[in-house]
């Protein structure tokens, strides 16, 4: 039997794409291999946002080729179409295929285990291909938490970002398809629905005939009206599309989680202009104030880039100031890396690697303080946790070993939480549990009481 293995890098959108590809492979009677070095076919879904993700692919492909020489290797995802990336692994990978064309390619491959390097061109437009791809049912990796992409692509063209080139222009799915997918998941017992998009809050299905919903807040309201006990999350948001209507929709719903991921990238308006972000630091801080006023218990995370070309000490200090003023619960801090084909690639990368590392560490120390302070506010409170994992541990008392179960999951504010079992109480993963927080860490909570 022909076996396959999928390796995924990057964002949640990439993981959902891989879930759809997995469903296609299994419908064609391919069997999932236990590891990449034992598979007949290895599909690598790439990410082009950071150099580190590309470097990992460049390391994995030679390993597979050396230890599993008979395997066919497909490179897909955001790096697949880039000629510069293809040259780096030419002769090692077998195929470079756009993610939208992978289903068709696999169907042709199913007719011949050896496959073919020349497949007939699919004359569908990119929009039609995208719509067809999203009609594929994913093979969800979790039985209780699921991603639903509502849009893909980007029209913002931030100067450092490859997403508009890798994903194309923004494409929004019809609301009826999204709502039906969400209803089906809730009926099956799913407890968490995550609405995805490169700019999820720019959702706009205006091209569909008979479409009744106009924007993302209206879609959120419709999803939250589905009967059942479940959470709704969404990411990633762009500050220019974080409207009062959207903030109110989150505040008014008991199903939409009080967790907002809102990248600010830099605190200097000069750097923001170079990044082509189309907002100012003042505008960003006003948004944060509105969110805090409407949703006082909200947990807020962000993305930050340090060392953008031309970033001076005073620019960086403004970024650090934003970190201190907002007091983020989490921040994904990255050092600028040149992305071929983007406008920023034409700028001089004049901040040294050492200085980028120092600035990244400086922001990390600010984050540790604010995250810990925020987490301490949970001590003594009872919170709802979606249980994700169970581990068994053993403790020794009076010469006897006792088995203890440790559970972990997330609160609605996206806080990692660990807690012990309570004697006589059976707990299953994929269920909501109320726990009383007794201890706070920098990036998580703990409970010893249910």
| Measured CA angle at 64 (ends 59, 66), to 5 deg | 100
Give CATH for domain 3-124.
Answer: 3.40.50.2300
Contact 272, 280 (CB under 8 A): yes
DSSP state of 65: H
Cα 435 to Cα 428: distance, rounded to the nearest angstrom: 14
Q: pLDDT by residue (tens digit) across 285-294?
A: 999 999 999 9
The larger pLDDT score, comparing residue 395 to residue 43, is at 43
Residues in the chain: 450
Q: pLDDT by residue (tens digit) across 166-182?
A: 888 999 999 999 999 99
Q: Minimum mean pLDDT among 84-93, 235-244, 415-424: which range?
A: 415-424
pLDDT confidence tier of residue 129, bands split at 50, 70 and 90? confident
Closest listed residue to residue 13, CA positions, set 195, 268, 142: 195
Q: Minimum mean pLDDT among 114-128, 172-186, 384-398: which range?
A: 114-128
Enumerate long-range contacts of 82-86, CB under 8 Å, 24 or more apart: 82/48, 82/166, 82/340, 82/341, 84/340, 85/46, 85/48, 85/54
Ranges of each domain in the chain: 3-124, 142-257, 261-376, 382-447
Correct CATH for 261-376 of 3.30.750.200, 3.30.70.1400, 2.60.40.10, 3.40.50.720:
3.30.750.200
pTM over 0.85: yes
| Token pair listed for 178 | 């999204």
For CA atoms 61, 63, 67, 69, give the dihedral sign: positive
Q: Minimum mean pLDDT among 65-79, 107-121, 150-164, 265-279: which range?
A: 107-121
- For residue 183, pLDDT over 60 is answered with yes
Contacts of 354 (CB under 8 A, 6+ apart): none
Closest listed residue to residue 24, CA positions, set 121, 119, 102: 102
The larger pLDDT score, comparing residue 124 to residue 431, is at 431
| Token pair listed for 443 | 């990036």
Cα 40 to Cα 36: distance, rounded to the nearest angstrom: 9
Contact 14, 47 (CB under 8 A): yes
DSSP state of 49: S
pLDDT confidence tier of residue 378, bands split at 50, 70 and 90? very high
pLDDT confidence tier of residue 393, bands split at 50, 70 and 90? confident
pLDDT confidence tier of residue 397, bands split at 50, 70 and 90? low
Cα 343 to Cα 346: distance, rounded to the nearest angstrom: 6
Question: Could you give phi then psi for residue 274, rounded to 5 degrees?
Answer: -65, -30
Average pLDDT over the chain reads: 92
Q: pLDDT by residue (tens digit) across 103-123?
A: 999 998 887 434 434 444 445
Q: What is the pLDDT of residue 67?
A: 94
Cα 297 to Cα 293: distance, rounded to the nearest angstrom: 9
- For residue 91, pLDDT over 90 is answered with no
Q: What is the pLDDT of residue 261?
A: 97
pLDDT confidence tier of residue 83, bands split at 50, 70 and 90? confident
- For residue 192, pLDDT over 80 is answered with yes
- For residue 437, pLDDT over 80 is answered with yes
Evaluate the omega torsion of the peptide bond into residue 260 and state whether it is cis, within 30 degrees of 0: no
Range picked from 86-95, 189-198, 391-400 for highest mean pLDDT: 189-198
- For residue 330, pLDDT over 90 is answered with yes
Q: Locate tokens 């993963």: which residue? A: 429
Question: Could you give phi then psi for residue 333, rounded to 5 degrees?
Answer: -100, 125
Bridge partner list, 1: none
Element holding 3 (H helix, E strand):
strand 3-8
Q: Locate tokens 């980028």: which residue? A: 356
The larger pLDDT score, comparing residue 402 to residue 22, is at 22
- For residue 402, pLDDT over 90 is answered with no
Q: Do domains 3-124 and 142-257 have the same CATH topology?
A: no
Q: Assign domain 142-257 to its CATH architecture.
A: 2-Layer Sandwich (3.30)
Q: What is the pLDDT of residue 396?
A: 57
CA 226 to chain centre: 24
pLDDT confidence tier of residue 353, bands split at 50, 70 and 90? very high
| Token pair listed for 28 | 């064609």
Q: What is the pLDDT of residue 421?
A: 77
Closest listed residue to residue 49, CA positions, set 277, 246, 263, 342: 342
Contact 313, 268 (CB under 8 A): no
- For residue 428, pLDDT over 50 is answered with yes
Task: Please state the rounded mean pLDDT for residues 207-217.
Answer: 89
CA 176 to chain centre: 23
The larger pLDDT score, comparing residue 282 to residue 113, is at 282
Cα 337 to Cα 344: distance, rounded to the nearest angstrom: 10
Q: HSE (CB half, 13 Å, CA atoms) of 211?
A: 19
The larger pLDDT score, comparing residue 206 to residue 221, is at 221
Contact 259, 237 (CB under 8 A): no
The larger pLDDT score, comparing residue 49 to residue 225, is at 225
């Amino acid at each position: 039997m022909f076996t396959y293995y999928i390796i995924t890098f990057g964002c949640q959108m990439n993981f959902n794409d891989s879930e759809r590809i997995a469903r296609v492979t299994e419908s064609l009677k391919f069997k999932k291999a236990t590891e990449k070095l034992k598979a007949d076919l290895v599909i690598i879904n790439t990410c082009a946002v950071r150099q580190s993700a590309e470097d990992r692919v460049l390391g994995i492909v030679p390993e597979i080729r050396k230890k599993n020489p008979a395997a066919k290797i497909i490179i897909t995802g955001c790096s697949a179409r880039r000629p510069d990336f293809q040259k780096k692994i030419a002769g090692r990978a077998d195929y470079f295929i756009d993610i939208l064309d992978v289903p068709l390619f696999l169907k042709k491959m199913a007719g011949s285990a050896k496959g073919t390097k020349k497949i007939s061109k699919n004359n569908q437009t990119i929009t039609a291909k995208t719509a067809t791809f999203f009609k594929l049912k994913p093979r969800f990796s979790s039985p209780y938490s699921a991603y639903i992409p509502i849009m893909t692509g980007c029209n913002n063209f931030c100067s450092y970002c490859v997403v508009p080139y890798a994903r194309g222009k923004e494409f929004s799915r019809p609301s009826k398809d999204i709502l039906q997918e969400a209803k089906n998941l809730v009926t099956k017992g799913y407890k968490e629905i995550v609405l995805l998009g490169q700019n999820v809050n720019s959702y706009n299905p205006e091209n569909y005939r008979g479409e009744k919903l106009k924007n993302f807040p209206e879609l959120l309201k419709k999803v939250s009206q589905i009967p059942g006990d479940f959470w709704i999350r969404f990411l990633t948001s762009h500050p220019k599309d974080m409207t009062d209507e959207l903030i109110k929709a989150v505040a008014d719903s008991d199903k939409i989680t009080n967790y907002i991921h809102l990248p600010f990238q830099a605190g200097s308006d000069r750097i923001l202009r170079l990044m082509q972000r189309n907002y100012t630091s003042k505008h960003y801080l006003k948004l944060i104030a509105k969110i805090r006023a409407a949703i006082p218990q909200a947990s807020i995370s962000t993305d930050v880039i340090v060392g953008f070309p031309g970033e001076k000490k005073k620019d960086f200090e403004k970024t650090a100031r934003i970190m201190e003023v907002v007091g983020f619960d989490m921040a994904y801090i990255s050092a600028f890396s040149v992305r071929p084909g983007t406008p920023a690639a034409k700028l001089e990368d004049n901040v040294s690697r050492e200085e980028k590392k120092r600035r990244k560490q400086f922001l990390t120390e600010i984050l540790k303080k604010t995250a810990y302070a925020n987490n301490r506010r949970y001590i003594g409170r009872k919170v709802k946790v979606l249980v994700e994992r169970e581990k068994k541990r053993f403790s020794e008392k009076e010469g006897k070993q006792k088995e203890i179960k440790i559970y972990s999951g997330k609160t609605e504010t996206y806080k990692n939480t660990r807690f012990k079992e309570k004697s006589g109480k059976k707990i299953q993963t994929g269920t909501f549990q109320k726990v009383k927080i007794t201890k706070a860490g920098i990036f998580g909570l703990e409970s010893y009481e249910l």
